[in-house]
Amino acid sequence: ALTAFILGVIGFAEYFDGLGVDKSASDLVYLSLQLFTLESGSVPDTGAPWQLEVARLAAPATTATALIAALAMAFREQIADWRLRREHDHVVICGLGTTGARLAAGLLQEGRRVVGVEQVGDTPAAAMLRERGAAVVVGDARDPKTLERTRLDRASHLVCLTGSDDVNAAIALAASDLVVDRKGPALTCLAQIRDPDLCVLMRSEELAGVARSRSRLDFFNIDEQGARLMLNDFPAFGAPATDDERPAVIIIGLNRLGQSLVAELARRWRARAETHEHPIGIWTVDPAATEIVERLRGRYPLLAHAATLHPVDVELDQFDPELVAQVPAPLAYVCMDEDSAALQIALQVGRALADSDARVVVELIDADGIGRLIERPDHAERVFAFDLLGRTMRPELLLGGTYELLARSIHEEYVREQRSQGQTVTTNPSLVPWEELPPSLKESNRDQAAHIGVKMDTIGFGIAPLTNWDAEDAVFSDEEVELLAEMEHERWVRQRKSDGWRHGPKDNEARTTPYLVSWDALSEHIKELDRQAVRQIPSFLVRAGYQVVPLRGRRRNAEPR
């Protein structure tokens, strides 16, 4: 606009000088401004200066561009609604803070469609989404009208990542109510719950509750997932231990990730049969280490048997890094909420361990920023960054949730059982890895996982967090197995029919199967597959961190192992 205005003034000045007409500066400014509204610039002489030729084209073009931009801003929500009409199989992210932005970026990088929901529409994350072609809905996600605008009826996932556990749960529940008439696969609703104990309890209640036909509600905790991933990436112990092995670990900082790390370390050590008489040594350093350790002992009954805990109460800014040198062959994990402070302690501990082969792993929220400091050669062999959000916000890990984990276990057990009977991919095309399974069969396994709670409630069982790591699997009576197997077949028939399958020869591509019949019409071999799936329910749940427990006053035919 400025360039067009200046060229207009210069062009008019030269034009009137050529005609011998004297124009004042104010006249030239006025004429140049009128170019923006198409009210000047029409001169009879075709030999107008090039500056004027450029200005009388550029000025109205600038006006038109500004008008279009203003209209786009004024009707941004209406334009977004128009675009959303075409969306399908997209992921709705409620809450575009640091965590939501990281997930959205990962999804967009994979080519997935994303719709963001934020109460304020001009946040950096919202701007990033718009720049990359994603839609952003402005409003309170707890409001059904706001959720309806995201086209949940055609979305694949809803992820709630606001800063409040209550708000996240409310959004997920509201979404479940909105999609009761949804067509096609069920909507997966994932809500972040920052309190790990509350998250486990809510997930247990949902697993044991009434199955929703058009949605699956799941809860996740970043610190709980982060502890598992941190130990996968940086294990504290390796192959089966020897009788003399006594691994020692130091955890500096008992934030939520640090507490989850204590429990996960002890659980993994306890799971090794040869280590039951040799507890792992865990030193914990935190201003409230003793108090936190006592809470963890109360939460996990076998923690004291699996680990020898050594709490050290000290302010972290007064922590003496030489303490780690007193622990034989330590692996140190630094778990603090502030990246700069965590990295400072990690580097100090790394220097204290310079003469050993020990390692230091530090939790960082932004490993791409300050975390690059530890990539220098003098730190590369001792200090390692664990990118908490980068690891936990990976779409393939987060979007799966508990039901996905159970569904994969169900499929793996089915493949193992079928192969043991001599079946191959040629005779049974379903015997392929999960990643190669057709979407309809994946959905069937997810639906089976979501139905576990209904089955357990029918025979007087509940689902609870797996806090007793030595708890043995429940065993169902023959009568219960038969009842649940028939329920499983009826569920399978409903799911298949709703997904468009028809009775006919077995053909996954054509979606035909000969088993869309009543339970009584099934062969004994097919019935046994359903019975086997029912018997495996307790082990499926244990893999996900849960166990079936008899409900007082309702359990009649229990056969404890």
The Cβ of residue 233 has, within 10 Å, a number of other Cβ atoms equal to 12
Nearest to 458 by CA among 527, 553, 555, 547: 555
pLDDT at 300: 85
Nearest to 197 by CA among 263, 151, 251: 263
**What is the average per-residue pLDDT within 191-200?**
87
Each residue of 111-139: pLDDT tens digit?
899 999 998 878 888 888 888 888 888 89
Q: How confident is the model at residue 559 (pLDDT cuts 50, 70, 90)?
A: very low
Handedness of CA 426, 431, 436, 438 (dihedral sign): positive
Tell me the average pLDDT of the chain. 84
**What is the average per-residue pLDDT within 451-467?**
84
**What is the average per-residue pLDDT within 306-315?**
92
Each residue of 250-309: pLDDT tens digit?
999 999 999 999 998 988 888 775 655 688 899 999 999 999 999 999 888 888 888 999
pLDDT at 390: 86
**What is the average per-residue pLDDT within 161-183?**
90
DSSP string covering 191-215: EE-SSHHHHHHHHHHHHHSPPPSSE
Angle, helix 478-498 to helix 524-535, in steps of 10 degrees = 100
pLDDT at 486: 94
Q: Of the ranges 160-164, 241-245, 440-444, 532-536, which one carries the lowest mean pLDDT score?
A: 241-245
Nearest to 456 by CA among 210, 212, 201: 210
**What is the average per-residue pLDDT within 310-329?**
81
pLDDT at 223: 92
| Nearest-angstrom CA–CA distance, 546 and 204 | 7
Is residue 165 predicted with pLDDT exceeding 50?
Answer: yes
**What is the average per-residue pLDDT within 226-230?**
90
The residue with greater pLDDT, 418 or 82, is 418
Is residue 379 predicted with pLDDT exceeding 60?
Answer: no
pLDDT at 378: 53
The residue with greater pLDDT, 229 or 328, is 229
pLDDT at 558: 42
Q: Of the ranges 31-45, 163-177, 221-235, 247-261, which one carries the lowest mean pLDDT score?
A: 31-45
Query: Which tokens hold the place of 116?
Result: 């963001």
**What is the average per-residue pLDDT within 505-514?**
86
Degrees (nearest 5) of the Cα angle 237, 239, 243? 85
**What is the average per-residue pLDDT within 543-548?**
77
Each residue of 461-482: pLDDT tens digit?
888 777 666 666 678 899 999 9
Distances (CA, A) of 193 to 36, 146, 201, 227: 55, 22, 11, 15
Is residue 57 predicted with pLDDT exceeding 70?
Answer: yes
| Percent of the chain's residues with pLDDT above 90 | 28
Is residue 146 predicted with pLDDT exceeding 80?
Answer: yes
